[in-house]
A and B are shown apart, each in its own frame.
Chain A
Amino acid sequence: MPIVSMVEHSLYYPVPRNLNYMWNFGSLAGLSLIIMIVTGIVLSMHYTPHTDYAFDSVERIMRDVNYGWLIRYVHMNGGSMFFIVVYLHVFRGLYYGSFKSPRELLWWLGVIILFLMMATAFMGYVLPWGQMSFWAAKVITSMVGAVPLVGESLMELLWGGFTVDNPTLNRFYSLHYLLPFVIFGVVILHIWALHTVKANNPLGIDMKGPQDSVDFHPYYTVKDLFGTGVFLLVFAAFVFYAPNYLGHPDNYIQADPLKTPPHIVPEWYFLPFYTILRSFTDDWWLFQILLGWWGMEAKLAGVLAMAGAVAVLFILPWLDTSRVRSAKFRPLYRVFFWLFVIDCLILGWIGAQPAEQPWTAIGQWATLWYFAYFLVMLPLISRIERPRPLPHSISQSVLGGGGGAAVAAAASPMEKSR
């Protein structure tokens, strides 16, 4: 049975012995996906994808369906948990240089998953047909109108009408059901790629022999299980104590196509990208210097920048040319990495503010820094930086020079790697 040999292969394949807790988020992302698919399938059995019934059917799930509230709250907060986990997973990759050779393909598959997740979550948020559902859908699909010449027709094609309406809800539901299974497929490729090139590790150096690795099972199955416990605790805390904390109260008002809520905000995981979208205004000097003068509309620039903010991850392997993977040995990169993290947090914070000064200006500087980090700073840093000397091998670093067969140390690799 190929399945059995696949599982066996996964369990007994060699993994660097020095992985820290940042390596837990991959398995947690997989778990999140499974939780989303299982709860989603059950929700679908009670949900009605029609503008006249969708809102009420979700309320019915909340009030009348046995445990409906639980299943919906798990699905609703599960989306957020999924994004928390995946964002940490991605920043882990940035910090330890996991996107570099030979792991480019693995990285690209990850970026594709991120795009698919965003599309899925966006369309899922429309399904309950609340005010935020409707207006988020309206604002985001209207971005397509920025495409020159065919924008208008593309928008009608997307909506199946002249605005977001029942046909839109129906197709979003269909795609929201479909895409998670596409994600599932890409995840399998992602793991396949991982097993071909093997995991990176906090030192960013290659495994040189059996002394550098341990079997996935039982060492990392146990470690992943521990992480799963912590993850489920946080997850449960949201579901049972603050189920609506990450959502927006306006989504408990049924969608009204004639009335925009005073303050539209996307789900928290889209906030940084929303800021980038909104930063491109006609009077922003950077926009005028770069794009405005040859006649591009600010709206189109904003849309391209927002997509570019994720797409830039695709070309990361060419932007960061340093041969050293781990930020541990890259004094300059490390500083800029943390500045970048702060920048992303600022972008997220601004995304939740109204489109007024001083927020707009702060958002524009943060947007500038976001792209400058990738397109200017990274190539520059990798050229001028002098990395610290790399350890000879993982085992040498972990076991303090012994490099021998002292397997006992594998139980607490984190402390030993310092």
Chain B
Amino acid sequence: MANTASTEAAGAAGAHDEGAGRRDFLFLAGGAFGAFAAGASAWPLLDSLNPAKDTLAASTTEVDLSPIEQGQAITVKWRGSPVFIRRRTAKEVAEAKAVKPDDLPDPQSDEQRFGSGAREQWLVVVGVCTHLGCIPLGQKDTDNKGEFGGWFCPCHGSHYDISGRIRKGPAPRNLPVPPYTITAENKLIIGKEQPKDGPGGTTA
């Protein structure tokens, strides 16, 4: 290598310049290719850490809603996390709708979350505190439901209202509403977006 270089350097001035240009080009092209190769081989390794196909495949959960009474709540597992389902009373729905979204830390109306009509009585939220992931209390009648009558996260004291919206405490966002469908047979499919104006009532 060194020999070749010095032989070249000893050659004519013009040839030398040409050689230098070629070397620069080869260096840059080689470097770029190397960087690309490194990135391309790192990607499969990195992407292998993302949710695998079987994990993604297990991403809908079905629930029969018929046995649930007004004011009753159940918890089901969807994608490894609890989903809170609550059949709200008319009073609770009215209470949720009475709040002005602008006054909230994460402004969202109850209608934006759960639609209207027959659908609005069903509250469906991922029961994972948006602060650091604890499961809030409030599914059982005996639970502490916090200052806004919905859910209370005991980990660092976040209060959610009856629409699952954050009202007080360190959590930044409302309890997320998963995509869900309510079928004509009163079946709930969590993980599947409701077709617009489906049988379960109007979505927002």
Q: Which residue numbers of A lie inside 8 Å of B, CB to CB?
A: 135, 138-143, 145, 156-165, 167, 171, 257-260, 262-264, 278, 280-282, 297-299, 302, 354-356
Q: Are A281 and B80 in contact (CB under 8 A)?
A: no
Q: Contact check: which of A138, A139, A157, A262 meets B154 at CB < 8 Å? A: A262
CA distance A257 to B172 in the complex (A): 22
User: Which B residues lie within 8 Å of A157 (CB)?
Assistant: 46, 49-50
CA distance A38 to B169 in the complex (A): 45
CA distance A2 to B51 in the complex (A): 47
Say whether B82 faces chain A, with CB atoms less than 8 Å apart: yes
Task: Return the chain A residue nearest B156 by Cβ.
Answer: A355
CA distance A143 to B171 in the complex (A): 11
Q: Are A278 and B156 in contact (CB under 8 A)?
A: yes
Q: Are A163 and B80 in contact (CB under 8 A)?
A: yes
A interface footprint on B72-97 (CB within 8 Å = 1, 0 otherwise): 00010101111000000000000000
CA distance A263 to B82 in the complex (A): 19
The distance from the CB of A136 to the nearest CB of chain B, in whole angstroms, is: 10
Q: List 21 A-B contacts (CB under 8 A).
A: A135-B134, A139-B132, A139-B155, A142-B131, A157-B49, A159-B51, A160-B52, A162-B51, A162-B55, A162-B79, A163-B79, A163-B80, A164-B80, A165-B80, A258-B75, A260-B154, A260-B155, A263-B154, A264-B155, A282-B170, A355-B157
User: Which B residues lie within 8 Å of A161 (CB)?
Assistant: 51, 55, 79-80
New A-B pairs, 13, CB < 8 Å, besides A264-B134, A299-B172, A356-B157: A138-B133, A138-B134, A142-B131, A142-B132, A158-B49, A160-B51, A161-B79, A162-B59, A164-B80, A257-B82, A260-B154, A281-B170, A355-B157
Q: Are A299 and B82 in contact (CB under 8 A)?
A: no
User: Which B residues lie within 8 Å of A160 (CB)?
Assistant: 49-52, 55
User: Which B residues lie within 8 Å of A158 (CB)?
Assistant: 49
Q: Contact check: which of B46, B51, B155, B170 meets A156 at CB < 8 Å? A: B51
CA distance A354 to B155 in the complex (A): 8
Q: Which of B34-85 contact A (CB under 8 A)?
A: 46, 49-52, 55, 59, 75, 77, 79-82
How many residue pairs between the two chains, A and B, have CB atoms under 8 Å in the bound complex?
Answer: 89
Q: Which residue numbers of B lie inside 8 Å of A, CB to CB?
A: 46, 49-52, 55, 59, 75, 77, 79-82, 105, 128, 131-135, 154-157, 169-172
CA distance A157 to B155 in the complex (A): 24
CA distance A298 to B157 in the complex (A): 14
User: Which A residues lie within 8 Å of B135 (CB)?
Assistant: 258-260
User: Which A residues lie within 8 Å of B75 (CB)?
Assistant: 258
Contact A167 to B131, CB < 8 A, known contacts A161-B79, A258-B77, A297-B172? no
Task: Return the chain B residue nearest A139 by Cβ.
Answer: B132
Contact A257 to B131, CB < 8 A, known contacts A156-B51, A171-B49? no
CA distance A140 to B155 in the complex (A): 12
CA distance A171 to B48 in the complex (A): 11
The distance from the CB of B161 to the nearest CB of chain A, in whole angstroms, is: 16
Task: Return the chain B residue nearest A152 by Cβ.
Answer: B176
Q: Are A139 and B80 in contact (CB under 8 A)?
A: no
User: Which B residues lie within 8 Å of A356 (CB)?
Assistant: 157
User: Which B residues lie within 8 Å of A257 (CB)?
Assistant: 77, 80-82
Task: Return the chain A residue nearest B50 by Cβ.
Answer: A157
The distance from the CB of A202 to the nearest CB of chain B, in whole angstroms, is: 42
User: Which B residues lie within 8 Å of A162 (CB)?
Assistant: 51, 55, 59, 79-81
CA distance A354 to B132 in the complex (A): 15
Q: Are B50 and A298 in contact (CB under 8 A)?
A: no
The distance from the CB of A373 to the nearest CB of chain B, in whole angstroms, is: 25
The distance from the CB of A122 to the nearest CB of chain B, in whole angstroms, is: 14
CA distance A54 to B80 in the complex (A): 17
User: Which B residues lie within 8 Å of A302 (CB)?
Assistant: 170
User: Which A residues lie within 8 Å of B132 (CB)?
Assistant: 138-140, 142-143, 299
CA distance A214 to B76 in the complex (A): 69
CA distance A167 to B50 in the complex (A): 9
User: Which B residues lie within 8 Å of A171 (CB)?
Assistant: 49
User: Which B residues lie within 8 Å of A165 (CB)?
Assistant: 55, 80
Of A159, A164, A257, A258, chain B has the most CB atoms within 10 Å of the CB of A258
